[in-house]
Amino acid sequence: MYKHSIFTALAVLLLPGLGAAQRRHNPAPRISVQPHVSKVTRGLRGEPLGVDVPFEVAVGGTIAPPLAPSASASALLHRVYKVRIPATGTSWVERMIVGVPDQILGPTPVLVLFHGYGEDPEDLVFSTEYIQKARQLGWLVVAPLGAHKFNFGIEYAQRNTEAALEFLATYFPLDLDHIYGVGFSMGGGWMASFAARHTSRDHVRFAALVNHTGTVSVSHVHASAIDVSLLESPLMFEGSPFQFPFRYQRASSIDLNPVFNSVNPDTDLLRNISHIPIMTWTCATDPNLYLIDQCAQFDAHLAQLGGVSNYTSGRGNGHMWANLDEDAVLTWLGQHTRSDPDSSSLVSVLADRNSRWHEFQIVQRNSGAFTPFKWAALHAFNRVYVLQASNLAQLAFDPADLGLSKNNSQGLEIVFSELDHLATRVVLEDMDMPSNVLFNGTSTPNWTYDQTTRRLSLIYLPSGQNTGSWRILP
């Protein structure tokens, strides 16, 4: 009557008329035990990073507790400390190594070390001599974790790096004109994108950078990987570059197409730091040929942007920090002082969030996308250009920060253009009440002045003309 043994077993239990003899011919069904399948977190080469452990444990990170305690530090070596920062503003605890010179007499140069794929900051103490050699030069040294050992410069890793540098600035006097970065492999890409996303006085800005075989294009890394599950993890980019291109692009300094081997000119954060001296170095025998290709394209694109090409393919052994001479790196870095881009010609900016970029505080029209614009300040004409802006709702700046006069009898001129044909607000900070505002030579009512904040707001309304010009009369 019953096709399956499970039904027969139920009948034996529920129907009292069935005797023991019949029950003997209808044994209970066997229970199938499924074998345990381990959950493995794998790296780019398919190597296991962790088995049956949470992702954050497998990648060497720690999720911050809801009520994060204050930062703590412990000695590792003489004047070298391990620091833990639970409250970073992200979901991740930050750990870092800090090397302190024997004497600090005033503002002190800083060397920031960006570790490679799978490394911990503590590894750099023993696998390199940068920390001790920089200390001997009288420099501070900081090696942040960036949330975990496989961060690829993802957005939360950059915020953790900010927290590390802010911690350093809280306890030590930093020489803000002599801050240097060295990054190896994954750290080279993380360093370049971090520098390109921090171009204003609100953050640490770099005087010079050394990119040692860096992963400067994370989408290209994805295309070159044997296993992409690490990059596509829910705690990383959550999918592929095809699904979430912006997430990969903002963690990169160039977006290198793996098919055509070309750099996307619309998504290159490298433009933001093309004025900074950057040394790029690879080893001719490095087995990771795609990284050599990335670095060559990185340097070539830097030259196209007007930067100085400083690329060397040297000798060495495989893929390791030691291929690049540390003394030569520190000597080269120490020659440079932080400089601003030449504002007498157009400076290209690619913003990826609401923040200050150079001297301009921007508010995006849409988050999760880039905001490009170009600017220049011509002191002889007391004029500032902000041109070809896109995805820009508001731009604010203090003309004095650009070296412009607010009380020039001929007025202050702002030349503006945008590509979206949408209304845009341009705000001038710390201004006196103007006697008049002209737009394209004619008095305009499209402005407001806040006496309390001393902010003058100009409203740009798109018209048939591609470019508009305000003149602010004192």
* pLDDT tens-place string over residues 246-293: 999 999 999 999 999 999 999 999 999 999 999 999 999 999 999 999
pTM: 0.91
Q: 76-85 pLDDT, tens per residue?
A: 999 999 999 9
Q: For residue 37, name the pLDDT band (cuts at 50, 70, 90).
A: low
d(CA 133, CA 325): 12
Question: How much of the chain exceeds pLDDT 70, in percent?
Answer: 92
- Distance (Å, whole) CA 278 – CA 195: 11
The two tokens of residue 55 are 């992702």
Locate tokens 């010009």: which residue? 469
Q: Could you tell me which of 134, 107, 112 has the C-alpha nearest to residue 179? A: 112
Model confidence at 74: pLDDT above 90:
yes
- Burial of 380 (C-beta count, 10 Å sphere; 0-12/13-18/19+): exposed
Longest C-alpha distance within the chain, in Å?
A: 114
Average pLDDT, the chain: 92
Q: According to the model, what pLDDT value does residue 23 have?
A: 37
Strand order in the sheet with 360-364: 356-357, 360-364, 392-397, 424-428, 455-460, 447-450
3-class DSSP state of 273: helix
In degrees, to the nearest 5, what angle opens at C-alpha 445 toward C-alphas 440 and 446?
A: 75
d(CA 270, CA 273): 6
- Residues with Cβ within 8 Å of 91's Cβ and at least 6 positions away in sequence, in order, are 63, 64, 156
Q: How confident is the model at residue 35 (pLDDT cuts 50, 70, 90)?
A: low
pLDDT above 90 coverage of the chain, percent: 87
* Distance from C-alpha of 56 to C-alpha of 60, rounded to nearest angstrom: 6
Q: How far apart are CA 418 and CA 424, in angstroms?
A: 8
Q: How far is CA 180 from the centre of its chain?
A: 16
Q: What is the rounded CA–CA span in Å between residue 151 and residue 251?
A: 10
Structure tokens at 134: 């920089």
Residue 36 pLDDT exceeds 80: no
Q: Residue with structure tokens 């300040």?
A: 377
**How confident is the model over 106-111, as a mean pLDDT?**
97
Residue 417's pLDDT is what? 96
What is the mean predicted confidence (pLDDT) over 34-44? Answer: 78
